Structure 1
Amino acid sequence: MKDQPPQPLDIVPVPVQPPPVSIDTGHHFATTAKEGSKDDLIKWAKMVAQKLKFTIIVRRSGNDEDKSRKPFFVLECERSGKYVPPKKKLKAESTGTRKCGCPFRLRETLLVNEMTKNLVPPRNIISTLKERDPENTMSSKQCYNARYRYKAKMRASMSEMQHMFKHLSDSKYFFKYRSIVDEGGEYLQDIFFAHPRSLSLFNSFPTVLVMDSAYKTNKYNMPLFEIVGFTSTERTYNVGFAWLTNEKEDNFIWALQQLRSLVRNEGSLPKVILTDRDTALMNVVGQVFPTSAAMVCRVHVENYVGSKIKELVKVRQGEEVKQEIVWDFIPDTSAYTQWIRVMSFLRLLEQHL
């Protein structure tokens, strides 16, 4: 008897429950209309839900009689959440639930989230809420807590730095960064970023640039190095920004090298670069842009000269000396007289430095 070939086994398909259909209906409840009372607002929300073929309920509400707490209420789908069995044992025929994990939930913090997304400061958020509802008792702490929860939800499992890199990448920013590695791990050292529109403007109007650092812009106390350009119509535009760990020559060289990499035509390098009186920055401009003239910004010159004038000039009690005192009288004189007065003042200033 010949061997029979193996017969295939009967395969019984296992029934798989299809995933629930999820439809986001949140935009139907976004409105700028203001209702007269809480009951009117609940009635409006239930009417909108009824048109969308589902039912919402008041999940939780605050005590209106307790003046120490801000009144609130939370609306959600009647099928929201999961079924929680009672402690006592029920008969089999009496069990059942409508809960299916519906994620719909409507909260009053929607406006706070939208304004936070649009970079509105907390004080302006609170003032806007109080203008819309004079009875609103939101405190600054509650506003900050709502903003924190919203930002944490947007970041999900990402760190703040990873979240920033994601936004820069999604918005097609040009960005570069460098880090340092030691025994404790890897740490961000410097980061440079520029908007796509800024790249086009920089290559069209690269003649004059202004560079300066701003402070107290972040909780890490990193100086924000800002680069500004000028168009042919004397309008300013932001070329790029850099967060630097230190204002040393090495940090500035790296930031300027990233700026140099944005130039598409080597024949269109900046002709003049204005800086503050930062010696490290002025020293490295010539290394990265050898054909550019590094000059001190007039605003910084006025501030420096004005501060020295207050020390040199004796002021009577109650009389103020303006920083523009040197520049006010120059346009009213001839060129030769201007030169004589400026040179005399500089000699006097040099003697007291």
Structure 2
Amino acid sequence: MFIKTIRTLEDMVVMVDMVDMVVKHLPFWTVFNSLDELKKRIQEIANADGFVIVTRRSKKIGGRTGRVWLECDRGGEHQSTATLRKAGSKKTGCPFYLLAVRNHPYETWEIKDGTIEHNHELCEDLSAHAFVRRFTPSEMKLIEQLTAQNMEPRKIFQTIRKQDPDRFHVQKDVQNVVAKIRAEQRQGLTPMQSLENVLMKNDFIYEIREEPGTEIVTEIFFLHRDSRVLWRAFPHVMMIDATYKTNIYNMPFIQIVGMTPTNKSFIIAHAVVSKERGDNFVWVLERVKAMLDECMEPRVILTDRDLALMGACGTYNRML
């Protein structure tokens, strides 16, 4: 493996003959008007060759940034602080680096030193590098706005890709940002505490069931007061369905829908249960029945062919 440090003009002449990348790209002789311009150009060159440049460190001269060391993002050694499990890393101690120096009299920037060599294979797909998948401030603002509108991360990702198809983002990057935004909105509360606050703030009626002997919530049932009024007025038809593995907790989500005489549907209630078992569904249906008080009971119950749910509906009919 050839590693050469550039320190003199003679070294540069030798490197031109031996390293094709220098011949094609790296502008050791180019003067840049600003550090940002230099970084942008170097990053373009690096990306074209299959690697990513990051800032390793900088040094101030006269109170201002005067030297900046740029390196391959695989440079350095991973320092893990994990105690429970060993964390992985893509760092390989890559020796590639460039030294950018500010020319004080002219306020320009140049590459003055560097090691043009890698100890790893260059990438054909730059999406494997987290650095190039970082969002710009405008993209972050867009994600925040769309998240506030309850848009799904998948659709947010598609929106960003349409605006700039050449970016290297993957859908998981958007999901991570959305998760961070929602965690900040919870202000340190657990997801269950946050949900309870939302239900109370928006005037929902809700009930929870805890695991015996613990304070672990296993089921939660909730409906809006306006839905309760509609349910008491039109209790004739009830449709119930459970969807599985559609949330990060892999808990069945139950939706209960009613029907008006004019063939318009309305939401009666929702519930999240821990398991898709008959007693869990029975608990939900008992809550639905309790909302009717002494009103007429439903005459038709529609559902799919989920056996546990069908069995719970049979139990519900016997309660009527």
Q: Which of 119, 134, 145 in structure 1 is aligned with 2:176?
A: 145
Give 2:142's aligned amino acid. L
The offset of 1:137, in angstroms, is 4.4
Matched, 1:64 2:40: yes
Between 121-130 and 147-156, the greater mean CA deviation after superposition: 121-130
The offset of 1:171, in angstroms, is 1.4
Question: Is 2:286–2:316's contact at 8 Å kept on the other side of the alignment?
Answer: no
- 4+ residue runs of structure 1 moved beyond 6 angstroms? none
Change (3 A) 1:276 1:140: closer
Matched, 1:154 2:130: no
CA displacement 1:159-212 (0-9 Å, x = unmatched): 111111111111111111010144xx4211211111333222212211111122
Change (3 A) 1:126 1:61: farther
CA displacement 1:17-60 (0-9 Å, x = unmatched): xxxxxxxxxxxxxxxxxxxxxxxxxxxxxxxxxxxxxxxxxxx9
TM-score (norm 1): 0.49
Query: What is the number of residues matched between the two proteins?
Result: 194
Matched, 1:281 2:312: yes
3-state DSSP class of the match of 1:269?
coil
Matched, 1:111 2:148: no
RMSD: 3.0
Question: Is 1:116–1:147's contact at 8 Å kept on the other side of the alignment?
Answer: yes
Give 1:64's aligned amino acid. K
1:174-253 alignment runs, 5 A limit = 174-182=205-213, 185-253=214-282
3-state DSSP class of the match of 1:174?
strand
- In structure 1, list runs of 5 or more residues that go unmatched: 1-59, 71-85, 87-105, 291-353
Question: Is 2:240–2:257's contact at 8 Å kept on the other side of the alignment?
Answer: yes
Change (3 A) 1:157 1:209: same
Question: Is 2:232–2:295's contact at 8 Å kept on the other side of the alignment?
Answer: no
Change (3 A) 1:196 1:114: farther
Counterpart in the other structure of 1:168 = 199
Matched, 1:271 2:302: no
Task: Compare relative contact order (CA 8 Å, sep 6+) and give the higher one, 1 or 2.
Answer: 2
The offset of 1:271, in angstroms, is 1.9
Percent identical: 28
Counterpart in the other structure of 2:287 = 258
3-state DSSP class of the match of 2:298?
coil
Q: Which of 135, 150, 153 in structure 2 is aligned with 1:122?
A: 153
Q: Quick one: distance in 2 between partners of 1:229 and 1:211? A: 9
1:7-26 alignment runs, 5 A limit = none
Question: Is 1:210–1:274's contact at 8 Å kept on the other side of the alignment?
Answer: yes
Query: Which has a greater percent of strand?
Result: 2
CA displacement 1:200-256 (0-9 Å, x = unmatched): 221221111112221122232222222111111212222111112233343223211
3-state DSSP class of the match of 2:40?
coil
TM-score (norm 2): 0.53
Q: Quick one: distance in 2 between partners of 1:280 and 1:128? A: 43
Question: Is 1:207–1:272's contact at 8 Å kept on the other side of the alignment?
Answer: yes
Change (3 A) 1:226 1:144: closer
Change (3 A) 1:237 1:281: same
The offset of 1:63, in angstroms, is 4.1
Q: Looking at CA atoms only, which structure, 1 or 2, has the larger radius of gyration?
A: 1
